[in-house]
């Protein structure tokens, strides 16, 4: 018989042999196999197959093609290890041999039959196990991806069986007392199948048994509305009878087997017990719960404790309040009062204190006719009643302090816990640590919440996907519960499948805004109360792709002053739409969205703002960013005419703010690095090619200094593609120059030359002589690094003339010190000294302590070293080391330490030279610069040989040889070979 096959039709058609999937080929083969799988063991006529494959319009060769498909399927099954024919010819067609193979549709039917038998015999746990086994077999819609009327009819029949099994399974689970656990899954199923009365009946019953009587009534009202609007009929008798039974609290609705979580009520009728049910699958928040515990232990005698739980929409404020309140209820023998103040409710205005007090007074035993009409009198009576009692009061969903102030006790032994999206600065909590602000769950807590709802069996094997899922949900409890409910209600969905659905930002809010729990609706409740200007700022900030930002970004999108933007941003922080990340190195507060809030803000912008207004807001931000980045680059040491820039209009920015931001230019770049990269990509994606490549140009020195090579490459490639799309020759030249410079910095000389040749071409085509000078200089560097100074010098000479014509002093200096190195390699020491000294002199006059000066000093040091002027060489190298360390220029540090180590070796201080060169090698390896690492290794080989460490010397020289070969530096590779030869000799 060989390998056993498993035929799976309860989802996409699939066949497995053991653990391996069997590839099924094209659409025709899949259709034929699907037809055979409809009735395994029974003959399917060839004519039926022809009709299904070609929809009653077959070609003359149709029967032959069916035979070819069958032969191909047989071959696949043989390749999978099956020795006998799985598809057997039987007039007038073919039959799928069932002997020794498994069929998930058959297994499903068997499981359901066993479950039904167990249920009839009263074996409810066994029935639940069998139903669960049946439903686990489903991986999606039956025969998904295969078309044809016969197949679609069978798929519909199987789907009806699945739904019936689900309803039967739910009934068993309800009898087992699992009503709370079932609600999320049932709610999702009702959303998917709103006209299935039996499913809705089960949801209503589960809600009622979980203490959610109002929710059960709402579920019925929704059903009635849908039935009347879509079918023109009333709900059936079962739903109506359940509705009536709930209204009269019919004892027959109690579960046959109480849930393990149900607690017997040990209260007297005179004591209110109004807390809602605990939140199912509550996870984490141990620190916050501990802080609320201080309400029980740290409140002075004679005063009441008051705690405030704040946080964004959907962050779990109410859940935390309920969890703590239920745990603490035993400390309040005189009762627990609860009120939802509806501070953020889509359909209701906030409930006034006057109304809440009336209900509280009744709960505390005051007859209706004795409740005063005036608010002040109700407050006085309420506080008098609480004066000698120990009552817990939970005020959920408050919008303002004024809303809860009348509901606070006057003193005594009571305790109040309020939840709000507002920070309520007027409310002083006691103890102080009982002011709790909720952030997102940790990854571990968020995955724990998923696991509690969906089950360990599905989450544990998909831990990486679960981690990605919780991040897509911002680790926000509301979003996580919605996602978990969707998974729980669809046992055929994998975690990865839901991750893929949520990964599309255009659909994420839709996916998390279905049915009763909606992320979008939750955010909308806060949004509707924002002042107009704050709402506009929220919308426009949502258009930006940056991970975080400072106040100037808000000023730019609104076209306002920074102080005005700061005020509005704080409004958004108070409303929990933004959160403060930190104070960055420039002293600015940085703010960010949670991803779901950003998506909502962008959605509102697209619905409420015109396209010209949206484009203008984004453009102002990008042009402001360019203004600051360009100025930061200039202040860092690049000259005004150092780069080729675009003609895009900059946005002016206040000089005082500019000075504040750019006190240390590299620190501003560091703070804005991720925003810069994201902005380049956004500009490139939206067709703002000039902004994309000009922003990149302004950041290149920073990227190089701090060795952010991935950011460097990403920006150049994105902007180059955008420039190519609009035919921007200058932009393409600038970005190919950037890519070439990146490759040059890592000694990948062949790649560097290829990019730089392209840069030279595009700059020449654009008539951009300044850009030509830059490309020629860098091509000369590549020649010199390859060991060909004679080819490099003419390029340097031409570049020098063009830099001087362009007035680019930075470029002139950079070219001069590269010429010094080339002349040194040629043995022209006097010419090398002249170029090096001129480069240092010009750069010292241009700007103090720049990266360019460090490079010029390094070249000057090398000339002094060649002339055996060791003291002067060491002075130059030490000065260069100080500058590059201040700039955190790792590539520059590797070079300057190399020069310093060589100098110390030349003066006979071998041990100090070894230490210096070892440090240099570590830096070079860290910044992935193989050519300089090879050169350092070459010198360390010499040092080791001098110290008698022959094997260490050989290892250094071999590694250096390999690095030179990888860099394409043949001259240096030969030097390493010669050194190895000398070592052997």
* Average confidence score pLDDT of the chain: 87
pLDDT above 70 (res 261): no
pLDDT above 60 (res 771): yes
Q: Give the DSSP letter string of 391-428.
A: -EEEEEEE--HHHHGGGS-SSTT-EEEEEESS--TTPP
Q: How confident is the model at residue 514 (pLDDT cuts 50, 70, 90)?
A: low
Residue 718 CA to residue 767 CA, distance in Å, equals 24
So what's the pLDDT on residue 515? Answer: 55
So what's the pLDDT on residue 265? Answer: 33
Percent of the residues in the chain that have a pLDDT greater than 90, as a whole number: 41
So what's the pLDDT on residue 426? Answer: 76
pLDDT above 80 (res 303): no
Tens-digit pLDDT profile for residues 55-113: 767 777 778 778 878 887 888 888 777 777 888 888 788 888 877 788 888 888 889 99
Contact residues for 250 (Cβ-Cβ < 8 A; gap 6+): none
Tens-digit pLDDT profile for residues 222-256: 888 888 887 888 888 888 888 888 887 777 777 65
So what's the pLDDT on residue 235? Answer: 83
So what's the pLDDT on residue 542? Answer: 95
Q: For residues 502-513, give the mean pLDDT.
A: 85
Q: Give the CA distances from residue 45 to residues 40, 69, 933, in Å, rounded to whole numbers and listed in that order.
A: 13, 14, 73
So what's the pLDDT on residue 258? Answer: 39
Paired with 549 in beta bridges are 591
Tens-digit pLDDT profile for residues 184-204: 788 888 888 888 888 888 888
Q: How confident is the model at residue 266 (pLDDT cuts 50, 70, 90)?
A: very low
Q: Give the CA distances from residue 921 to residues 918, 928, 944, in Å, rounded to whole numbers and listed in that order.
A: 5, 10, 14
pLDDT above 90 (res 716): yes
Q: For residues 737-743, give the mean pLDDT.
A: 95
Q: Give the CA distances from residue 139 to residues 14, 210, 722, 799, in Å, rounded to whole numbers and listed in that order.
A: 11, 30, 42, 66
Please report the beta strands in 479-526, taking only residues with DSSP state E, as ranges in sequence order. Answer: 513-514, 517-518
So what's the pLDDT on residue 269? Answer: 33
Residue 865 CA to residue 895 CA, distance in Å, equals 14
Show the tokens assigned to 366. 């005051």
Q: For residues 30-40, give the mean pLDDT.
A: 84
Q: How confident is the model at residue 428 (pLDDT cuts 50, 70, 90)?
A: confident
Q: Give the DSSP letter string of 544-569.
A: ---S-B-HHHHHHHHTS-HHHHHHHH
So what's the pLDDT on residue 256? Answer: 53
Q: Are 202 and 284 in contact (CB under 8 A)?
A: no
Angle between helices 950-967 and 930-946 (to 10 degrees): 160
Tens-digit pLDDT profile for residues 549-601: 999 999 999 999 999 999 999 889 888 899 888 888 888 899 999 888 899 99
Tens-digit pLDDT profile for residues 662-693: 988 989 999 999 999 999 999 999 999 999 99
Tens-digit pLDDT profile for residues 432-469: 888 899 989 999 999 999 998 899 999 999 999 999 99
Percent of the residues in the chain that have a pLDDT greater than 70, as a whole number: 96
Tens-digit pLDDT profile for residues 865-912: 999 999 999 999 999 999 988 877 888 899 999 999 999 999 989 889
pLDDT above 80 (res 317): yes
Look at 271-275, 514-518, 926-930 and tell me which has the smallest mean pLDDT.
Answer: 514-518
The DSSP code for 251 is G
So what's the pLDDT on residue 891? Answer: 84
């Amino acid at each position: 018989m060989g390998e056993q096959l498993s035929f799976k039709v309860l989802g996409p058609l699939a066949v497995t042999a053991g653990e391996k999937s069997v590839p099924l080929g094209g659409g025709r083969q899949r259709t034929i196999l699907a037809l055979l799988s409809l009735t395994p063991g029974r003959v399917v006529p060839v004519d039926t197959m022809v009709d299904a494959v070609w929809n009653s319009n077959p070609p003359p060769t149709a029967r032959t093609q069916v035979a070819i498909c069958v032969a191909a399927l047989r071959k696949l099954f043989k390749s999978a290890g099956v020795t006998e024919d799985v598809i057997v010819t039987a007039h007038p067609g073919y039959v799928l041999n069932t002997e020794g193979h498994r069929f998930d549709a058959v297994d499903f039917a068997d499981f359901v039959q066993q479950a039904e038998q167990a249920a009839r015999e009263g074996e409810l746990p066994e029935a639940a196990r069998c139903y669960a086994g049946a439903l686990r077999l489903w991986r999606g819609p039956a025969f998904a991806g295969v078309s044809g009327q016969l197949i679609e009819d069978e798929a519909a029949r199987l789907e009806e069986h699945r739904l019936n099994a689900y309803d039967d399974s739910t009934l068993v689970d309800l009898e087992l007392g699992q009503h709370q656990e079932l609600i999320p899954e049932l709610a999702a199923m009702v959303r998917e199948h709103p006209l299935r009365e039996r499913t809705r009946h089960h949801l209503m019953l589960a809600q009622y048994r979980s203490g959610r009587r109002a929710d059960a009534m709402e579920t019925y009202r929704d059903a009635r509305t849908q039935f009347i609007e879509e079918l023109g009929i009333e709900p059936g008798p079962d739903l109506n009878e359940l509705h009536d039974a709930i209204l009269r609290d019919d004892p027959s609705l109690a579960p046959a087997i109480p849930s393990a979580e149900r607690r017997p009520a040990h209260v007297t009728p005179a004591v209110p017990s109004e807390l809602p049910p605990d939140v199912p699958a509550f996870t984490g928040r141990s620190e916050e719960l501990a802080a609320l515990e201080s309400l029980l232990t740290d409140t002075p005698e004679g005063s009441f404790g008051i705690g405030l739980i704040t946080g964004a929409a959907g962050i779990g404020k109410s859940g935390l309040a309920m969890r703590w309140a239920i745990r603490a209820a035993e400390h309040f023998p005189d009762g627990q009062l609860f009120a939802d103040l509806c501070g953020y409710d889509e359909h209701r205005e906030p409930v006034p204190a006057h109304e809440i007090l009336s209900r509280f007074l009744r709960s505390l035993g005051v007859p209706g006719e004795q409740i005063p009409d005036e608010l002040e009198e109700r407050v006085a009576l309420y506080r008098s009643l609480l004066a000698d009692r120990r009552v817990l009061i939970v005020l959920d969903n408050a919008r303002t302090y004024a809303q809860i102030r009348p509901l606070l006790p006057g003193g005594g032994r009571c305790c109040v816990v309020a939840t709000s999206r507002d920070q309520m600065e007027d409310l002083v909590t006691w103890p102080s640590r009982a002011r709790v602000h909720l952030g997102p769950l940790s990854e571990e807590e968020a995955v724990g919440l998923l696991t509690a709802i969906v089950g360990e069996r599905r989450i544990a094997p998909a831990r990486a996907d679960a981690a990605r899922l919780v991040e897509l949900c911002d680790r926000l409890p509301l979003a996580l519960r919605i996602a978990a409910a969707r998974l729980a209600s669809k046992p055929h969905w994998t975690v990865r499948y839901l991750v893929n659905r949520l990964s599309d930002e255009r659909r994420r809010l839709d996916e998390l805004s279905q049915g009763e729990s909606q992320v979008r609706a939750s955010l909308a409740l806060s949004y509707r109360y924002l002042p107009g200007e704050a709402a506009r700022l929220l919308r426009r900030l949502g258009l930006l792709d940056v991970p975080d930002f400072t106040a100037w970004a808000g000023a730019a999108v609104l076209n306002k002053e920074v102080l005005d933007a700061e005020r509005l941003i704080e409004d958004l922080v108070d409303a929990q739409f933004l959160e403060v990340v930190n104070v960055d190195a420039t002293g600015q507060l940085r703010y960010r969205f949670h991803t779901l809030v950003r998506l909502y803000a962008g959605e509102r912008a697209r619905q409420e703002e015109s396209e010209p207004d949206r484009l203008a807001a984004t453009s102002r931000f990008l042009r402001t960013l360019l203004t600051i980045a360009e100025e930061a680059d200039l202040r860092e040491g690049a000259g005004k005419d150092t780069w080729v820039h675009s003609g895009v209009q900059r946005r002016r920015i206040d000089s005082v703010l500019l000075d504040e931001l750019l006190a240390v230019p590299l620190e501003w770049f560091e703070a804005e690095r991720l925003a810069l990269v994201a902005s380049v990509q956004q500009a490139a994606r939206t067709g703002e090619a000039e902004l994309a490549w000009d922003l990149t140009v302004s950041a290149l020195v920073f990227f190089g200094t701090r060795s952010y090579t991935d950011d460097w490459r990403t920006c150049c490639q994105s902007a180059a593609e955008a420039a190519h799309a609009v035919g921007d020759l200058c932009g393409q030249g600038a970005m190919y120059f950037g890519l070439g410079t990146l490759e040059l910095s890592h000694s990948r000389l062949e790649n560097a030359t290829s990019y730089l040749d392209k840069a030279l071409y595009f700059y020449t085509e654009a008539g951009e002589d300044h850009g030509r000078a830059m490309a020629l200089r860098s091509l000369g560097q590549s020649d010199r690094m390859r060991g060909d100074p004679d080819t490099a010098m003419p390029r340097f000479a031409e570049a020098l003339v063009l830099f001087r014509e362009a007035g680019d002093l930075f470029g002139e200096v950079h070219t001069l010190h590269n010429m010094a190195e080339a002349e040194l390699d040629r043995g022209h020491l006097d010419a090398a000294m002249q170029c090096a000294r001129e480069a240092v002199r010009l750069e010292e006059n241009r700007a103090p302590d720049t990266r360019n000066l460090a490079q010029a000093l390094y070249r000057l040091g090398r000339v002094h070293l060649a002339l055996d002027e060791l003291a002067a060489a060491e002075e130059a190298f030490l000065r260069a080391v100080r500058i590059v360390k201040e700039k955190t220029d790792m590539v520059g540090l590797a070079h300057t330490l190399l020069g310093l180590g060589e100098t110390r070796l030349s003066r006979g201080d071998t041990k100090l030279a070894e230490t210096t060169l070892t440090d240099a090698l570590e830096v070079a390896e860290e910044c992935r610069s193989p050519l300089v690492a090879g050169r350092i290794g070459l010198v360390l080989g010499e040092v080791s040989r001098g110290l008698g460490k022959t094997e260490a010397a050989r290892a250094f020289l071999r590694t250096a040889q390999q690095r030179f070969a990888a860099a394409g530096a043949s001259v240096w590779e030969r030097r390493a070979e010669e050194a190895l030869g000398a070592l052997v000799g």
